[in-house]
Amino acid sequence: MSFGPQVLFENVNVTFNAGERYGLTGPNGAGKSTFMKIVSGDIDPVSGRVHRPRKLGVLRQDHYAFEEHRVLDVVLMGNHHLWKALQEKEALLAKGDDLSDEDGMRLGELEMVIAEEDGYMAEAEAEELLGGLGLDEAAQQGPMSQLQGGDKVRVLLAQALFGNPEGLLLDEPTNALDIASIRWLETFLQEYVGCLVVISHDRHFLNEVCTKIADIDYETIIVYNGNYDDMVEAKANARSALEMANSAKQQKISQLQDFVQRFRAGSRASQVKSREKQLEKERTALANLKRSNIQRPFIRFELKRPSGKQVLGVDGLCKQFEHQVIVDDFHFNVFRGDKVAIVGPNGIGKTTLLRLLREEIRADDGKVEWGYECQFGYMPQDHSEQIEKSEKTAHQWLWDWNEDVNEEQLRSLFGRLLFTKDEPFKPTKVLSGGETVRLLLARLMLLKPNVLLLD
């Protein structure tokens, strides 16, 4: 599989076995989500074949794709054949007296599909599944838009599990989950008996859940036994052995070159010819040692100017939404150099507290006072708040934040955040999740704030 000139992986032969839990790893841009889409059937490979189980559950990155749908219906969508049949049946029945003979025959066919897929028990099974995941009846009947991020993931996990799939594909399942929900998901997946393939950047999560790691590197996929830490150690050892072999080949090539140059014009022509063949063989073997695709961004937050000693003072802060108290008579101070983590379960009000501190929303009572020379850099949970997906390029979007910066400085900044070649000139509407985060980080590095607020 490749996109443009970039080869993501080629000549991959890999088997995912029942009863194993695989972590799919690799740097941003290595092709993890692309590989998942190939396995799920969303896109086709350039060449080769994929053998899939009949029932495959898929949890995708977009946790906000079904906001207007009823929660129970979102789960039923996990069985594509059943959901399609139910929707078509409902549309035909809506015709009422205008139903044709052909429509009647089609209804009979749909009834057979629904029966084969256990459709008449489907809603009860979905309710049981959601109940087991901690969602009450009221939440099940409401729209997805009313759920917190962690509950959305539970619903989408129920969608992926609906119909007892033989395989489960999870793309970043811990996004938007609080710590308690992540621990719950770890326990849940440890008990899953099918074949699991999961993408996650959460090292602890991969260590707790995975029995094997499928790592995308060297333009292929290598499967390692054990969890993420086991893979890192094994990969480092393999890379060390590869570099030693490479060094030995380089030394051998140098020796062969010396021999050929010394005796080319002498009486040892047959030996020279033999060494030349051996030299070509060694060079070919050396060229076939592929490079690792692992790259690390260079992130450093510099300051235009320091803030005063006291950065923030909060005195008697109060905020309540209907019956939910976010903060009540809250007092605290933050000083230059402090690093403060706001923790708590989903829905408790962490983002709301940040918005109160940024004075995006009005407090019911109390004061928020920022110190001398405070300049803010903000990373929101919802990236669409900051980057409108449009035809505007990433380069233009970043330049708009500081038009005094020159082209060389922008290129350097993009390079430090691993944007290569023409990537800064991609429209923001086609940026991946990882590219969007790196673009927001580039903005923070460009603006050089002395206060960072990261949601």
The answer to whether residues 39 and 50 touch, using CB atoms and an 8 Å cutoff, is yes
Query: How many domains does the chain divide into?
Result: 3
- Kindly state whether residues 223 and 244 are assigned to the same domain: no
- Kindly state whether residues 104 and 238 are assigned to the same domain: no
Q: What is the pLDDT of residues 379-425, one digit of tens each?
A: 988 777 788 888 999 999 999 998 888 999 999 999 999 888 888 99
pLDDT at 260: 82
pLDDT at 285: 72
CATH of the domain at 136: 3.40.50.300
Whether pLDDT at 112 is above 50: yes
- Kindly state whether residues 220 and 242 are assigned to the same domain: no
Q: What is the mean pLDDT of the chain?
A: 88
Q: What is the pLDDT of residues 60-90, one digit of tens each?
A: 777 788 999 999 999 999 998 899 999 999 9
- Kindly state whether residues 268 and 171 are assigned to the same domain: no
Q: What is the pLDDT of residues 323-349, one digit of tens each?
A: 889 999 999 999 999 999 998 887 788
- Kindly state whether residues 282 and 342 are assigned to the same domain: no
Domain contains 385: yes
- Kindly state whether residues 168 and 211 are assigned to the same domain: yes
Element (H, E) at 240: helix 228-263
Range of the domain at 348: 310-454
- Kindly state whether residues 246 and 345 are assigned to the same domain: no
- pTM higher than 0.85: no
pLDDT at 8: 61
- Kindly state whether residues 242 and 323 are assigned to the same domain: no
Domain contains 293: no
- Kindly state whether residues 138 and 277 are assigned to the same domain: no
- Kindly state whether residues 217 and 321 are assigned to the same domain: no
Q: Of all residues in the chain, what percent carry a pLDDT higher than 70?
A: 95
- Closest to 156 in 3D by CA, of 183, 120, 121, 181: 181
Highest mean pLDDT among 144-153, 224-233, 412-421: 224-233
Domain contains 292: no
- DSSP annotation string for 164-215: --SEEEEESTTTT--HHHHHHHHHHHHT--SEEEEE-S-HHHHHHH-SEEEE
Q: Of all residues in the chain, what percent carry a pLDDT higher than 90?
A: 50
- Kindly state whether residues 360 and 345 are assigned to the same domain: yes
- Kindly state whether residues 90 and 79 are assigned to the same domain: yes
In this structure, the number of other CB atoms found within 10 A of the CB of residue 346 comes to: 19
Average pLDDT of 356-360? Answer: 93
229, 254, 279 — which closes off a domain? 229
Q: What is the pLDDT of residues 18-54, one digit of tens each?
A: 999 999 998 777 788 888 989 998 888 888 889 988 8
Distance of alpha carbon 184 from alpha carbon 182, whole angstroms: 5
Domain contains 33: yes
Task: Tell how strand 167-171 and strand 195-199 pair up.
Answer: parallel
